[in-house]
């Protein structure tokens, strides 16, 4: 019996840090555990994302970020499960293989758009390379950027890289952009293309926040005009409320820090808009983030 206990402990110590933070157990995906299932032929599936679009989004994500991961000595693995109706997405690390798993069920959700689906992939990449703050673990900090940080990385860094090769002004010309989004994007950026990317990132965040909100019971609708007024006493490493997540996506879209500046795994200041640097907009929302005295 003692040998079995020691063997089990050795297994945990050996593999625990690699798998515990964002494992495919239904608890630590982009959404909380949920039982929603949207199959390929589900009558409630949206008509926006078909299998070709699903793959096209992930093809671009792979093309952009495979070199980034390779420069870190890691292999990016994008696991595509179009036929799986799971409404979630996951990130895992196993040795030098860093993986994200994407499901057709989430892509088929009625609130999903192609950009929102890209933002989901960006969130999962953010767990790997989004920087501090990190999730906690029995080893201290885990490898994974926490949920709020992964949301913030998605629109402040990843989505900009995803969008930068497109004619974003033409894309947003086909969208209905709320006045508050236009006002705040124009206040943060002067270049027309950057303003368009800000608007597009914000709208991707809105669609994703609505999707995530639908998986929660009893939640109020989310809106750009009703920011979460909660102020946490310590950083929340778990899933923030849906409105708080929308605020985070919007803040990331507004942040004018260069998307090419890599985040730091321990310093939450690096590469992001910080209050300590005089930023009044585009900073991590206080509904999940507690700045230190220096942030």
Residues 58-84, mean pLDDT to the nearest whole number: 99
Q: Do the Cβ atoms of 254 and 263 come closer than 8 Å?
A: no
Half-sphere exposure of 9 (CA within 13 A, CB side): 6
The answer to whether 246 touches 212, Cβ cutoff 8 Å, is no
- At residue 139, the pLDDT reads 58
End-to-end CA distance of the chain: 50
DSSP count for the chain of H helices, then E strands = 10, 5
Angle, alpha carbons 209-213-218 (nearest 5°):
155
Angle at 254 between CA 250 and CA 255, to 5 degrees: 115
For residue 25, CA distances in Å to 11, 39, 86, 88, 225 come to 18, 20, 12, 11, 35
Identify the pLDDT of residue 46. 98
Locate the domains of the chain by residue range: 22-277
- 3-class secondary structure, 86: strand
Angle at 106 between CA 103 and CA 107, to 5 degrees: 85
3-class secondary structure, 131: coil
Determine the average pLDDT of the residues in 109-132.
99
281-291: b or e for each residue (b if 16 or more CB lie within 10 Å)? ebbbbbbbbee
For residue 171, give the nearest of 255, 225, 113 by alpha carbon: 113
pLDDT for res 19: 44
- Indicate the burial class of 77 (C-beta count within 10 angstroms; 0-12, 13-18, 19 or more): middle
* pTM of the entire predicted model: 0.91
Work out whether strand 97-103 and strand 89-94 pair parallel, antiparallel, or are unpaired: antiparallel
pLDDT range class, residue 292, cuts 50, 70, 90 = confident
- How do residues 84-115 score in pLDDT, each as one tens digit? 999 999 999 999 999 999 999 999 999 999 99
What is the average pLDDT across 200-208?
99
Most confident of 21-35, 50-64, 127-141: 50-64
**Residue tagged 């040998």 (tokens):** 3
* Average confidence (pLDDT) over 214-230: 96
Q: What is the pLDDT of residues 24-46, one digit of tens each?
A: 443 479 999 999 999 999 999 99
Contacts of 104 (CB under 8 A, 6+ apart): 38, 40, 51, 54, 81, 82, 83, 84, 85
d(CA 30, CA 75): 21
Instruction: Give ∠ CA 186-187-192 in degrees, rounded to 5.
Output: 30
């Amino acid at each position: 019996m003692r040998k079995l206990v020691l063997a089990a402990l050795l297994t945990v110590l050996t593999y625990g840090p690699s798998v515990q933070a964002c494992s495919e157990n239904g608890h630590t995906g982009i959404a909380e555990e949920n039982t929603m299932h949207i199959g390929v032929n589900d009558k409630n599936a949206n008509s926006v994302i078909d299998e070709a679009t699903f793959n096209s989004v992930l093809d671009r994500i792979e093309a952009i970020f495979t070199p980034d991961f390779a420069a870190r000595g890691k292999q990016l693995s994008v696991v595509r499960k179009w036929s799986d109706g799971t409404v979630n997405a996951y990130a895992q690390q196993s040795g030098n293989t860093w993986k994200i798993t994407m499901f057709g069920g989430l892509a088929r959700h009625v609130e999903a758009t192609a950009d929102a689906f890209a933002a989901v992939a960006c969130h999962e990449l953010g767990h790997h390379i989004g920087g501090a703050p990190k999730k906690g673990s029995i080893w201290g900090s885990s490898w994974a950027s926490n949920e709020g940080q992964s949301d913030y990385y998605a629109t402040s860094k990843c989505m900009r890289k995803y969008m930068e090769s497109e004619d974003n002004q033409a894309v947003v010309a086909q969208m209905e952009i709320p006045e508050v989004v236009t006002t705040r994007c124009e206040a943060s950026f002067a270049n027309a293309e950057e303003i368009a990317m800000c608007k597009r990132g914000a709208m991707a965040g809105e669609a994703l926040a609505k999707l995530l909100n639908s998986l929660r019971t009893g939640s109020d609708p989310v809106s750009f005009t009703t920011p979460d007024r909660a102020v946490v006493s310590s950083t929340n490493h778990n899933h923030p409320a849906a409105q708080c997540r929308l605020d985070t996506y919007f803040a990331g879209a507004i942040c004018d820090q260069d998307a090419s500046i890599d985040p730091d795994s321990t310093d939450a200041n690096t590469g992001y808009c910080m209050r300590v640097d005089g930023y009044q907009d585009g900073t991590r929302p206080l509904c999940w983030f507690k700045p230190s005295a220096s942030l």
